[in-house]
Amino acid sequence: MNNLLKIANRFVSVDGETSFGGPLQFSNFIRLGGCNLRCWGNQGFCDAPFSISKDSERYDLAIPEQLAQEYNEQISKKELPNRFTITGGEPLLQSEVLNRFFKELDRGTNPIINIETNGSQRIDLIRRRMNQTICFVIDIKMPSSGMHKRMKLALNKDLMIWPDILKVVVETEDDLEYFEKIYSKFDLKESRVAVGPKYDPQNKISKVTPERIVKFLMDRKMFSVRLNLQLHKYIWPYASPYFVSDPDKIPEDQIEHMRNLDR
């Protein structure tokens, strides 16, 4: 089982978040199953609760080389975009199998690869190769998520290379204060950093608005920090996040429903 990719969902969509090369580019999304964090656990909140269980039986299993060959074939026929967004769950929990998947992709179409990681794993679990564009989008979880103490920021900051970027989602004024503290503690002036608001399950922006974030950054002259709006939510306002009380016990029909709305 550990030799196979555990896949919660696959689809083609536009990548509307902080990534390499600008907003809203078409991408092959692969949402991997299994996550070591439980963000906003007390509120039963997660962007993709159907992808966080450890239970392999909940996922499609794929031989990485075979899956990569299928993508290479379709990409070379221009039936799919030459770009990947690997998300989860936490993709780096499957780093060994992912390395095999990327190696096989390199042999064919050598696509641009974005990997969205929750910040709790070291990014050098993925081997970077010459001529390969991998962009890590690395979360820095804030106190409102309850997961801020699980971050490997000191380590990952030193492992980052262009175009890797740190992504911060803020919900409260306390989160903004905390961000300011770690920005200075870890000296993030030279790092690529993007800050954006959290969305509630009705996809309304929560307490800290984009306007507030811009003012906060301007007041502190944090001019290299970007504002990260989840642009795909303008297109699919009914997509994630969701409330679930127990991600290991989501009924099958609800999982299917979430999968269909997954963007």
Binding mask 40-59 for ligand SF4 (x = CB under 6 A): ------xxx---x-------
CA 35/CA 28 separation, integer angstroms? 20
Tokens standing for 46?
């997660």
Per CB under 6 A, does 39 bind ligand SF4?
yes
Instruction: Count Cβ atoms below 10 Å from residue 99 Cβ, excluding itself.
Output: 15
Please report, in angstroms and rounded to a whole number, the separation of the first and last CA atoms in the chain: 27
Residues 6+ away with beta carbon under 8 Å from 193: 165, 166, 168, 183, 224, 225, 226
Q: Tokens 């095999």, residue? A: 100
Closer residue to ligand SF4 (CB): 8 or 229: 8
Is residue 88 near ligand SF4 by the rule CB under 6 A? yes
Q: Binding to ligand SF4 by residue 188, rule CB under 6 A?
A: no
17-25, 34-42, 205-213, 255-263 -> range binding ligand SF4 (CB under 6 A): 34-42
Q: What track of x and - describes contact with ligand SF4 for positions 102 through 131 (by CB under 6 A)?
A: ----------------x-------------
Q: What's phi and psi for 59, nearest 5 deg? A: -120, 160
Candidate segments 67-75, 85-93, 130-138, 155-163, binder of ligand SF4 by CB under 6 A: 85-93
H-helix or E-strand spanning residue 44: none
Q: For residues 27 and 118, which CB has a smaller minimum distance to ligand SF4 in the complex? A: 118
Q: Which residues contact ligand SF4 by CB under 6 A?
A: 35, 37-39, 46-48, 52, 88-90, 118
